[in-house]
C-alpha cells in the first residue's frame, strides 16, 4: 500500500516508516524536519519538510492523492508547556490538523487512516465518574481528537486509533521525553519516594508494528488500547535505577495525600511561571495511583505486535536522557 505519514521523522513516525518499508509498503509524508543527527529514514521513504499546520487544502490533497493510507503521528503531549488557555494549543496542534487530514483522506478515497492517540482516553471511558475529560485539558483534547478522527470513519475509509501508553526506546539525536523523570530520580540521594499504582508500556518497535498492523488488518471504527508490559511504578523505577548504576536503590511508596501536596506545590510553580499544565496536577492523583494496565491480546492477535525487550528499551531511554542531562544537544519535541 501507499502510505502517507504526518510526522514521519519523529520517534514514532520514523519507526513506523521503517516497519512499513520493511513490509513492502511505499512511504511518503511530511514532517517538520530535519531528521535528528545520527538518525535516518529507510531507503525509499520520501518525507518532505513542511509545517503541516501551514499546508493549504490543495497541498494536503496533493500529498494524499493516490495514497491508500494515512498515519497521523504528529502533535504534542502534555509535557510541552504553554501559557493559558492550554486547551486552545491542543486544539491547534492535535485536533484541528486531524480534522483536516482525515477529512481529505475520506474525500480522496483512501482506505485506512490511523491516529496515534493516548491511553488516557481508554481510562476516561473506563472510569467516567472521574470526569477526566472535564478536569484535564490534555485528556479532553485527546478525546476530542479521537472524535474528530472517528467522524470520518465509513464510506470506504477505515479509521483506527492506537491509544498509546508509556513508550520506551530511543531515536538517535532526539531528546527522550523521559529526561524530566531521570533528572528527578537522580536528585533523590536517599530512598526514592514514589506513589502506588502503575502503567502499561510498549517499545517503539511495538508501536511501529501496531501501525503497520492497523493499516494491513485493523478494524475500522476501533480504538485499540495499546499495551504489553504491565508494571507497578516501583518495578519500572527499579529497572531505571539499574541502568543508572544504582541497582540497590530503595524505593518507598508514599501516601496519596503526600503526592497531592507535592502536586499542589508544582501547580503553584506553574502559575507563577505563567504556564497552564495540560493535566490538573492537584487532581492527578486519580491517574497517578491507578494501575493503568492493558491486556495485549488485541494488539497481538489483531495487529500483529510481538514480544520485545522492554528492559533494553528502557535502558536506551535512560542512557539518552543522561546524555541530554550532560549537555549533549539533542532535538526535542517541537510543536511547529
Whether residue 290 is predicted with pLDDT greater than 90 in this model: the reply is yes
Looking at residue 333, its pLDDT comes to 76
- pTM to 2 decimals? 0.97
In degrees rounded to 5, what are phi and psi of residue 45? Answer: -75, 135
Whether residue 336 is predicted with pLDDT greater than 80 in this model: the reply is no
Higher pLDDT, 266 or 165: 165
Looking at residue 189, its pLDDT comes to 94
C-alpha span between 219 and 54 (Å, rounded): 31
Beta pairing class for 229-232 and 198-203? antiparallel
C-alpha span between 256 and 287 (Å, rounded): 11
In 3D, which of 171, 192, 189, 186 has the Cα closest to residue 243? 186
What average pLDDT score do residues 224-232 get? 98
Looking at residue 51, its pLDDT comes to 95
Reported as a single tens digit per residue, the pLDDT across 17-54 is 999 999 999 999 999 978 888 888 888 899 999 999 99
Q: In sequence order, what DSSP letters do the residues of 209-241 get, joined into one string?
A: HHHHHHHHHPPTTEEEE---EEEEHHHHHHHHH
Looking at residue 88, its pLDDT comes to 98
Beta pairing class for 2-6 and 251-253? unpaired
Q: 223 and 122 in contact (C-beta within 8 Å)?
A: yes
What average pLDDT score do residues 274-283 get? 93
Q: Domain 2-165+202-227+294-305's class?
A: alpha beta
Amino acid at each position: 500500500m501507499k502510505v502517507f505519514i504526518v510526522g514521519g521523522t519523529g520517534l514514532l513516525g520514523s519507526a513506523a516508516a521503517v516497519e512499513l518499508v520493511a513490509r513492502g509498503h511505499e512511504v511518503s509524508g511530511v514532517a517538520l524536519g530535519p531528521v535528528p543527527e545520527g538518525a535516518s529514514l529507510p531507503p525509499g521513504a520520501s518525507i518532505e519538510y513542511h509545517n503541516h499546520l501551514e499546508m493549504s487544502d490543495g497541498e494536503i490533497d496533493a500529498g494524499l492523492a493516490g495514497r491508500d493510507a494515512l498515519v497521523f503521528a504528529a502533535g504534542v503531549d502534555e509535557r510541552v508547556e504553554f501559557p493559558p488557555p492550554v486547551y486552545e494549543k491542543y486544539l491547534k496542534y492535535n485536533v484541528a490538523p486531524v480534522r483536516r487530514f482525515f477529512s481529505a483522506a475520506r474525500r480522496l478515497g483512501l482506505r485506512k487512516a490511523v491516529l496515534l492517540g493516548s491511553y488516557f482516553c481508554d481510562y476516561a471511558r473506563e472510569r467516567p465518574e472521574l470526569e477526566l475529560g472535564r478536569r484535564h485539558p490534555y485528556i479532553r483534547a485527546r478525546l476530542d481528537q479521537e472524535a474528530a478522527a472517528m467522524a470520518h470513519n465509513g464510506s470506504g475509509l477505515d479509521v483506527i486509533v492506537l491509544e498509546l501508553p508509556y513508550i520506551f526506546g530511543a531515536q538517535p539525536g532526539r531528546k527522550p521525553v523521559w529526561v524530566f523523570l531521570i533528572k528527578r530520580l537522580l536528585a533523590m540521594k536517599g530512598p526514592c519516594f514514589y506513589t502506588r499504582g502503575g502503567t502499561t508500556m510498549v517499545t517503539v518497535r511495538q508501536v511501529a508494528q501496531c501501525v503497520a498492523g492497523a493499516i494491513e488488518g485493523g478494524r475500522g471504527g476501533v480504538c485499540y488500547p495499546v499495551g504489553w508490559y504491565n508494571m507497578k511504578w516501583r518495578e519500572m523505577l527499579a529497572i531505571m535505577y539499574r541502568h543508572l548504576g544504582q541497582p540497590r536503590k530503595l524505593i518507598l511508596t508514599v501516601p496519596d495525600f503526600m503526592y497531592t501536596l507535592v502536586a499542589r506545590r508544582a501547580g503553584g510553580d506553574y502559575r507563577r511561571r505563567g504556564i497552564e499544565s495540560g493535566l490538573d496536577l492537584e487532581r492527578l492523583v486519580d491517574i497517578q495511583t491507578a494501575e493503568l494496565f492493558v491486556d495485549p491480546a488485541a494488539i497481538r492477535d489483531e495487529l500483529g505486535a510481538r514480544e520485545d525487550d522492554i528492559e533494553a528499551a528502557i535502558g536506551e531511554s535512560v542512557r539518552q536522557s543522561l546524555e541530554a542531562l550532560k549537555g549533549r544537544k539533542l532535538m526535542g519535541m517541537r510543536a511547529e
